[in-house]
Structure 1
Amino acid sequence: MELTPTALALLGLMLAAWTFGAVWLVVGALQRQRAARSARSTVRRLSRIIDNSPAIPLLVRPDGKIEGPDRLAAWLGLDKLPDFISELDGEEGGLSEYDQKELFEAIRRTQKTAAAFTMVVTPRGSQRSLAVRGQLADPVVASGGAAMVWFFDFSESQGELSRLRAETARARNDFAALVGLIEAAPMPMWFRGPELDLRLVNSAYVAAVGAKDAASVVEQQVELIETVDGLTAAQVAGQAHSRDLPVERIVQATVGSQRRTLRVSDLPLGAEGVAGYAIDIEEMEEQTRAFRAFRAAQRSMLDQLSVGVAQFDANKRMIFANQPFQRIFALPNAAQVDPPRFERFLDMARDQGRLPEVRDFPEWRDELVSWFIEDDPVEDAWSLPDSTHLRIVAQPMPDGGLVLVAEDRSEQLALSATRDTLLRTRTATFDSLFESLAVFAPDGRMQLWNRSFPAIWGLPDEVLDKHPHVDQLLDRISNRLARPAQRKAIGEVVREATLERKERGGRVVLSDGRTLEFAGVPLPDGNGLLTVMDVTDSTKAEEALRERASALEEADAVKTRFLANMSYEFRTPLTSIGGFAELLQSGMAGDLSDQGKEYVGAIIASVERLSQQIESVLDLTQSEAGLLPIATEEVDLLNFTTQIVRAREEAIEAKNVTLDLRGDKGAGSVHADPRQLGRAVGNLLDNAISATPANGRILVALTRRKSGARIVISDNGEGMKPSELARALDGYRLPGDDGGDGKRGLGLPLARQLIEAHGGRLEIQSEKGAGTTATVLLP
């Protein structure tokens, strides 16, 4: 059977339609599969969010069947969630019978009326508090009148709420007790509101102002305190409220029918207002006046005594000192205006020499301070440097103070103590001196000596105990002399001091190598004093110093020769290198390529830079050695500085720096070496140009001083820290310094040496980020 073309065409269309339908079915199936996977993922994510949320849902259907997560069963103390709402009342867990009934009724009411409810339940055997919120479930979640119940755990909030309720009740009770206390207080008390009007007064206040009751006082705003210095009581309370500081004052007021003295206090209470109270101190004031009169009479009587009396309070501060006490201890008049403490009084007396000389004054002062806590009076005797003898009696007072009595007994003890004091002083003086001393009578016999005298000569003490004659003494020490003939010189010194009343000295060397220096001094009583001192160490030190001085002179000569040699050795080859480079640059050796000309230019620039460095090193070294030649002449300061600035125009313009030269003919002239001073000022100016950034500013100011001239060079560059400035003045390179101009290495030390060589001074102030100022002071 043969098909016609039309039949074939129809068959092809049917096959194509069939293929298109199959493809469309496959694509639709894939889209539904992807949507299903997305829905499952969304469901899992929402389920996990609900599981981790602070609230747990419970779905209650109309027949009482419930659906919810197992986490709710754990909150309720159950092993698993029951099937019906009526089974939430368990024996060991779940809700109590009352809570379960209330929850069941609330859910039924919501299912019937669609009204939401809120309640609080507590599971059996648990302190957990659960907030329950119920509402009608969304039809999408469940249809047919189901209820959605949410459980929230707010145990901490419930505990905090209980604590706040307890604190509120306690505060209410405390406030009631405080109000009762204020009402029962015997002193007037009041309270003002934020507007400073009276809000509350107690019975004492009502009685003080003579009012009917507290309500009438508040209504009429009756003030207890009168206007003082133009300020009412409310205005003073306003000052306390505005400053938030208590204000206390003593005023006169009418209490009842009497005029009384009151101590009034206004206490700010923040935004609530100001509280106040008044204390009657009239009796205290009367006692104070009586005590002041008694104290004035007592002190007037004490001023008539010849014995010094001073009183110190419990804080160890002097509250009274009569005239004899002030005279004995030389107290200044300022001590009456600003009474000193006990320790300060001792310091003042010690500065005036009115205390005994002690070895450890702080420790001795602490011992005197302990008098305040003694149980019984303390008596002591003080001998002052001016031979004043004081009898000191310290009487502790019951209030913790101290009464100090000083009696001058110098006249009573002067006659009996003069001879003993002189003997002890002489003996102590002799024994405490470093020199060896011996006193000889005019007949040549030894009278006195100190412990060092026999020790320095190596003599036994029993020899001197016999008071030997000077000749016998010389016989014993002659064998210890390096040259025994020198014994005659010692005898002559003693004879001239005792008989001829002349001073004479000498020096001897002992056989053991020691060197002794001796001298004879005539004494006012006709005796002669022989002093002997061991000068071995000083003699050796003197010899060592002489040797060192010779070595330094030789080193200085070597340095001079070295500088002269190095000046030639450095400059000769450097001059040759520069000359040959200039010949190459001029074409004497033929034409050079561009690169060769560049090399020759670099050589010439390096030679010039190295020449400057060598000259700086030699000048700095010569300046430190004091060999730098300075040829001074009269230099006009303005022209001199202008030339230095003009010489650096190219460098200034290259960095686009603004230089401000301030000065006139009034700067005058100075006597200086133009070359050396120009190098010093030029180095400072080069440093300023190098440190100043592009578009920066440099100030050069010339001023005339009374004793000379001053040059100030200031820039607004980065500046230096103190440590960096110290390194720069010592000649060390700063961190990050490329040393392009060769000035920061030795420029500052050389400038300082050159300025000091002219008798001037260089001062540099620098601050990081603010710039540097160099000041040259010339005589």
Structure 2
Amino acid sequence: MKRLWQRLAAGSMLAALSSPATAQTQGLAASVFRSSEVITFSVLIGVISAAMISAIWLIRQRGNIEGENRELNAALADANQRISRFQALIADKNRRIVVWDGLSDKPEFLGHLPAETGVPQDDREFLAFGRWVKAMSALDLEKAIERLRSQAQSFDLIIETHRNEILEAQGRVSGGRAFVRFVALNNMRAELAELKLERDRLQASLTSFHTLLDATDLPVWLRGPDGAITWVNEAYSYAVEASNPAEAIKEGKELLATIAREKIRAISTYDVPFRDKVSTVVRGNRTFFDVVDTRSVSGSAGMAANISAVEAVREELNRTLKSHAETLDHLATPVAIFDGAQRLQFYNQAFQALWALDMGFLERKPGNGEILDRLRAGGKLPEQLNWKQWKDNALAVYQAIDTQSDLWHLPNGQTLRVFATARPQGGATWVFENLTEKVDLETRYNTLVQVQGETIDHLSEGVAVFGPDGRIKLSNPAFRALWGISEPQAQPGTHIRAIEQACAVSYDQQDGWKRFAHLITSFDDERSSCQGILELRTGLILDFAVIPLPNAQTMLTFVNITDSVRVERALTEKNEALRKADSLKNDFVQHVSYELRSPLTNIIGFADLLKTPTFGSLNERQAEYVDHISTSSSLLLTIVNDILDLATVDAGIVELDLSEINLTDFLDEVSNQMADRLQESAVTLRIEAPDMLGSFVADHQRLKQIFIKLLTNAANFAPDGSRIGLKCQREGLDFVFTVTDNGVGIPQEILETVFNRFESHGSRGGAGLGLSIVESFVSLHHGSVSIRSREGEGTEVTCRIPSAELPKVAAAE
């Protein structure tokens, strides 16, 4: 129909194209008719032409369609005939075809197989190959079908059913469909398939056997009738230093030497294989092999087991036995070994020395009973009431299973522990352990234990020992007296809980005996000791110690320290009272000093005002009084300031204001400030210092106070009209200065107390705070002060101050 409509459209287009030609042929007539009539007439003629052409085309198409239908009917008849022939062919009971259309899981089944093959007739059961095909064949068939459907990989297989019937399976792909044809073979083909299966099984077995031999570390080889190597395993190629078995076969590398191969060829027969130990060199090392070589019609096969380790063990065993004998011979413990016939096979020197037997007698290997008889005859064995019975019991070890032991008390005073052990290969080993020293030590130990027990019982310290199970082992009377318990309450075996309850009358705090119980019964790997003090209700104060002992035992000791603790408490209370008194003194000094500074400042101020002429003139006597008031007030203010400085130093609140000081300018400043004071005492100052002392980091104000105090003190003790000296120098980073005077000096008995506070010496000594302040300020600078003085020669004070470091200030961002 589609083609029909295309032809009708083409006819319409031809009619439309032919209408202009017709209009030209009638050009003359167009001039006679009107234009509208001409157009109508042209359209009518075009429609009639198209209708005629369409009718003709439809008639021709109908004829073509009838011809095509006849051809299709003929082809359908031929296809039905071929399908009938194919179905007749497939209907043969000797084959069955399974068809899968694409990846569809539902197959189509055609044909049948004979029932005697064991193949199920039901389609669903047919695809369960494991039910009617042997396992290996079923696994190969399923894998082949999977590859056929997924990868279009054809296959040809021979499968075997559970009834031992042979089928041929062929897989192919055609037209997007997968076909698997199962064919029951006839007799000849079945025999051929069986032979093929047998060949595959033999080939698989041979491959497995070769794989097994390659996996072992035993060299294996096969030889042909001519004696040439035809196959070797990996161990063989490794032994002959070949990269692989093929190279070893190609190069004909031999594991065994020529002499060994000739020996194998001469000895080996078809009935008796060659078996012997052969020595050869493998990779540069001498190696021993246990070789087995068998001969057959097709050649020979051999295997070599490396027994080098066994030979080494055998040699090591011989060396060990020899070393064992030498070791036993050097032992201090007597040893004798007898064989199954009860004859002496081995003895060491200690055995011969113990019994003092003749060497000739021992070398002829006497019997065990014979040795016992000789020892009894020599009076070397314990006396027995029934010697025969005792001897039979001693020799019964040869039939015993367990080791027998006995104590022999010899007539010479020795004590022996005798061990007799039956040997697995027959005979017995006798070991004589000398217990003489051990018995003696045990006796001494028991005596020592008794002495220690008596010692512990008479100690003034309380002692108690507990086992790891928390039960008391021993305690002394002092322990029971301190805790107020009786001896039955602390008898050995009593648990620590019971002792805790008995001691609760004297001490029942939670951290007391409970803590002891935890330390004693804990399972910690490292047991630690513990010490402390307990105060009982009875007023006793005990110093206790928990001490771990060997064997997981623990010892508790208690010492009565009541008297010493009371003395200590009294001393502590006294020290606390002294500390409070010192604190009150400091508070008093600070309070009084601060309270005195204000009126003193007023007095000094008013005295200075009275000296001013503005407020009126003073007579000579009044001026003298005002000068005394001003001098005394200044001196008192200095003393108050010194007291405040010492109080702040004692309180630990003094902080140094460190700065960089030019020492030359600093000395000028000090000398100017001391000018008036030196002038009053008619004393001159001599300064010795280098021109360039450099700079120094210290507290400027405190350092100046040190200099002023030392110079003032020197001026006070220097005679009128004399000279005091100041010597300054730098030693590395330290600033060292010395102040000297030629005064009366300080006596030696007073020299040690000059730095004490309020220690004044001489008529012009002052309050006795100057050197104390100097020492305090020098110590704040981490320096040192020393003084030397002799009566009538003067005094020398030396200070050494290290340069400090300026505090670092973080730069602003």
- With the shorter chain as reference, the TM-score category is 0.3 to 0.5
| TM score, norm. by length of structure 1 | 0.40
- Give the structure with higher Rg (CA): 2
| TM score, norm. by length of structure 2 | 0.39
